[in-house]
Amino acid sequence: MHRLHLFAFTAALSLAACAEPPTLDDAGPAPLLPTKGSAVPGSYLVGLHPTAAHLVVEAEVDRRDPRPPVATIAAELAALPGVRVIDPLGHAVRAIAIEADADGLELVRADPRVAYVEEDALGTPASVQTSAPWGLDRIDQRARPTNGRYYYQNPSPAPHVYIIDSGVRGTHAQWSGRVGNGASFAAGADPLVDCDGHGSHVAGIAAGATYGVAKNAIVHSVRLTDAACASSAARAVQALDWVAANRQGFAVANMSWTFSPSPTIDAAANGLVSVGVPLVIAAGNDGLDACNYSPGRVPAVVTVGATTSADARWNDAQYKASNTGACLDLFAPGASILSADKDSNTDTLTRSGTSMASPFVAGAIARYFADKPGYTPAQMACIAFGGAGCADPNGAATIGVVTNPGAGSPNKLLFIPGPAPRITTFTCPDWGNSGANQYQCNVAYSSEAPATIAWSGGGSASSIFRTCTTGSIVTVTVTVGNDFGADTRTASFACPVGPLP
């Protein structure tokens, strides 16, 4: 949510319009936008003018919208010789995924409703492999050394986490009984089969029973990759559009992949956020400016860099380093992270990279906000880590602990509070032990983390026994607190004057 203001999320219709690339001149053929990455031959993303077609969400806002749906234009393009429509999209982005030969491409570009045609490109997963777990222990503490514990409370209802990746092993024990619907955008690829373990590892960090942040989240696998474990910009756009159309409950999406700059991916990312789904993106592992990649350069998404267990920006000479710059929103643990893998229902592996950092943030958003309805993605971002336009520019993030964050990078590290204590019993006065101008009060509580008791007038035990003056009104307050919050109770009563029982 870098450089983002809350007012940008006030209306779905205006957001959907803002998600589009700039309107291009209708004179002559629509421009062909070459990729800066590795092109996928014959595969393209066709961006439509905002005046040419409506998104599904726009029709829901105004059922009298005179523009046709994107699917109508897709059907007309599919009738052109040399053109095959792969996906009409139309939920998060006003675009169509196609395959076309040279002649078909020119026919598409000649259509006045087409704003641009973007060359499809391969994507890059944002992780590498190395060794040893620690991340959960770090994110619920402000400072090192850590205490070896991760304090959490599962929200109700359970959140939904969409893993846009290489597939997820559907039968893995880390999310047994918590697999939701999914999709695949490569022919013959099963979303519940993981081609290289990357997606399962990411899912384990976001939602695994042992390794995950949001331990009761429903896992939805949205597979980008084919049998060779290759992805493309077109599949990324299809995936984002599918999540926008099929989201359930409180939904968060994670995409630990980077792509060369793509206006269509950027528009799809904006579109997904505009319908209320926070989108968390790995910053990338090239040690470069994250603003050079889609969709991490989009202000509406959450772009995450990686740190080591020493709170340093991840920089592995054997591999690469976490990307940096103003397009980052925050850092999260990303070096030597243990999580699920693909080869058995209990398989694990240790990996490193910004791919591992972003699901920590996705899981944190899912866990913390699932039972707090009504927040927009921008408001969630302000609470979690701040940013431009937020009342608190730092939000809940831990500030200033990341060493060598990189030029222009925010020095913010993910922090998610554990549950505050809860007073379960407050008996004040305890009439069975009060009388003769004396009273006893008792408190009992539950707390996952170590907690302390503080009574008004002093005292830290679970009971107090005090004297009072006949005819006086006694007011007693007790507070139970831990590192994550506090619970307070107050009682007022007349001084007990009868005999002690």
Whether residue 299 has a cis bond before it, omega within 30° of 0 = no
CA-CA distances (angstroms) from residue 294 to 28, 122, 190, 395? Answer: 28, 12, 25, 25
Q: 94 and 32 in contact (C-beta within 8 Å)?
A: no
Could you confirm whether 355 is annotated as catalytic?
A: yes
What is the radius of gyration, based on Cα positions, of the chain? 27
Catalytic residue among 165, 266, 316, 341, which?
A: 165
DSSP string, 154-222: --SSPPEEEEEES---TT-GGGTT-B---EE-STT--TTS-SSSHHHHHHHHHH-TTT-SSTTPEEEEE
Point out which residues pair with 45 in neighbouring strands.
97, 118
Which residues, other chains included, contact 198 with Cβ-Cβ below 8 Å and sequence gap of 6+? 125, 127, 165, 166, 256, 351, 355
User: In the numeric block, which tokens belong to residue 375?
Assistant: 């927040």
In whole angstroms, give the CA distance from residue 476 to residue 488: 11
Could you confirm whether 165 is annotated as catalytic?
A: yes
DSSP conformation class of 40 = E
Closest C-alpha among 69, 283, 278 to residue 162? 278
**H-helix or E-strand spanning residue 489:** strand 485-494
Query: What are the start-end ranges of the H helices in 302-376?
Result: 354-369
Instruction: Return left, alpha or beta for 386; rule: phi > 0 is left, psi -120 to 50 is alpha, else beta.
Output: left
Q: By three-state DSSP, how is residue 434 classified? A: coil
Dihedral sign (CA 431, 437, 440, 441)? positive
Catalytic residue among 54, 198, 201, 220, which?
A: 198
Catalytic residue among 200, 260, 262, 355, which?
A: 355
HSE value, Cβ hemisphere, 13 Å, CA-based, for 23 = 10
Residue found by looking up tokens 């470069």 in the block:
288
**H-helix or E-strand spanning residue 17:** helix 12-18
Active site residues: 165, 198, 355
